[in-house]
Amino acid sequence: MSGSKVIGTLRIGLIGSGFIAKFHVEALVAVRNVTVRGIYSPSADHREALARRVDELELGPCTAFASLEAMLVSGEIDAVWILSPNDARIATMREINRLVTTGKASLVGVACEKPLARTLAEAREMLGLAEHAKLLHGYLENQVFSSAVQRGKEIIWRRAVPISGRPYLARAAEEHSGPHMPWFWRGSLQGGGTLLDMGCHSVEAARFLLTPPEASRDELRLKSVNATVGNLKWIRPEYVANLKTRMGNEVDYNKRPSEDYAHSVLIFRDGEGRDALVECTNSWAYVGAGLRGTIELLGPEYAMEYNSLNTSLKVFMSRAIVGGEGEDLVEKQNAEQGLMPVVDDPAGSLGYVTEDRHVIDAFRRGHMPMETFSDGVAVVEMLMALYRSAELGRVVEMPAPELETYVPLVARES
């Protein structure tokens, strides 16, 4: 695609109408040269409501389509964003491939939310289907594009690394009190528990920080991984009952729990032949103001750190202020009273605006984005190795050929 005519305004279609789709719609308000011309999801009410929101934000005109095929063959869509639940992504990509390769649809690119897939086999198929259809492909990992990660990496590699040497340790953690929707809690649908759900962010943000600017991400070679997972909170009787009440009887953590805590260590060999370590902690058992993301990067004579709850804006609500539950201050908000941090621009500070702007600009110009499906495959391979390590109770040396067909115990149907 490189060198082809630049598309003036990229017309995108959204596949999915849930939490993350709404986040992208709000982010796209700050992106130029794009319109959202279509939305498809199985829920008519949800897709129609989101299409109305798109039009309210003057990002349309937007049509709520009754099927994926109807949207893709409409002639109104140049690229699609796959924002559907994890278990639907591989079938969605197969349908995109079928419609493009048979000439029924004409697309320039496809972008997919993280994680790319539930298993390494699915992830490799996602990449193969995009390549077979000759589509540009972007992996939507917002933490890599967040202002803290982008700015922190730029400063460290420009000012500190040339004098004292490259970084040797990256730590990343993402923790909150549990997902929004029932399918997240079901290992067979989501692909795992918190290790897959949140670890996908942490391993890729850390790997990105340890990689030199402009270098290929495979400049770091994965040597080994070690992981510990646990069920700390959500298998307690009162919380098993809580989940059933909120999520329905299909979420039964007496019978089929997914891990709510994971600690991971990944050892890479860097381009200078030295070891570089990544440490990740992920949890659905953290109760604070809301979602907490922390990132550190350490080198011979420097360090950088970030905490998403250390915001520049805070509000205080006394006990006399009583209201309903919401997430208007921070994501996964756990309280409406007291001293609360406020994320004043979630779509911007969390990376969604920069992520969408970058992918849209790349697709318009016929280029591959910075994060591609190949990166999504690498992330899933790291996560599968970590699940394998936790199950075996030992370090897993890489490469590990058994991962090609491996399905974590937590993701198996029975």
pLDDT exceeds 60 at position 46: yes
Q: What angle do CA 237, 186, 137 make, to 5 degrees?
A: 150
Mean pLDDT of 283-297: 95
pLDDT exceeds 50 at position 28: yes
Strands 302-307 and 261-269: unpaired
- 9/360 Cα distance (integer angstroms): 9
Binned at pLDDT 50, 70 and 90, residue 362 comes out as very high
Q: How confident is the prediction for the chain on average, in pLDDT?
A: 96
Dihedral (C-alpha) 143, 144, 145, 146: value to the nearest 10 degrees? Answer: 40
Q: How far apart are the first and last CA of the chain?
A: 44
pLDDT at 361: 98
**Tokens 């991971």 — which residue?**
264
Question: For the structural domain made of 10-142+362-368, what CATH number should be given?
Answer: 3.40.50.720
pLDDT (tens digit per residue) in 180-230: 899 999 999 999 999 999 999 999 999 999 999 999 888 999 999 999 999
pLDDT at 4: 67
| Burial class of residue 328 (count of CB atoms within 10 Å of its CB; 0-12, 13-18, 19+) | exposed
**Tokens 């004098």 — which residue?**
163
pLDDT exceeds 70 at position 2: no
- 176/167 Cα distance (integer angstroms): 28
Binned at pLDDT 50, 70 and 90, residue 323 comes out as confident
CATH 3.30.360.10 maps onto the chain at 144-352+380-397
C-alpha pair distances (Å), 227 with each of 297, 382, 406: 20, 11, 16
Mean pLDDT of 8-34: 97
- 388/226 Cα distance (integer angstroms): 9
Longest dimension (CA), the chain: 63
CATH 3.40.50.720 maps onto the chain at 10-142+362-368
- 318/312 Cα distance (integer angstroms): 20
pLDDT (tens digit per residue) in 114-133: 999 999 999 999 999 999 99
CATH level 2 (architecture), domain 144-352+380-397: 2-Layer Sandwich (3.30)
- C-beta of residue 262 within 8 angstroms of C-beta of residue 272: no
pLDDT at 152: 97
**Tokens 């590699």 — which residue?**
157
pLDDT (tens digit per residue) in 142-167: 999 999 999 999 999 999 999 999 99
Structure tokens at 342: 């406020």
Preceding omega of 346 cis (within 30 degrees of 0): no
pLDDT (tens digit per residue) in 389-412: 999 999 999 999 999 999 999 999
Sequence-distant (≥ 6) Cβ neighbours of residue 54 within 8 angstroms:
25, 36, 39, 60, 62
pLDDT (tens digit per residue) in 51-107: 999 999 999 999 999 999 999 999 999 999 999 999 999 999 999 999 999 999 999
Other CB atoms within 10 A of residue 288 CB: 16
- C-beta of residue 261 within 8 angstroms of C-beta of residue 213: no
Instruction: With residue 277 as reference, give the H or E element that holds it.
Output: strand 275-283
Closest alpha carbon to 90 in 114, 120, 66, 125 = 125
Mean pLDDT of 350-354: 95
- C-beta of residue 288 within 8 angstroms of C-beta of residue 276: no
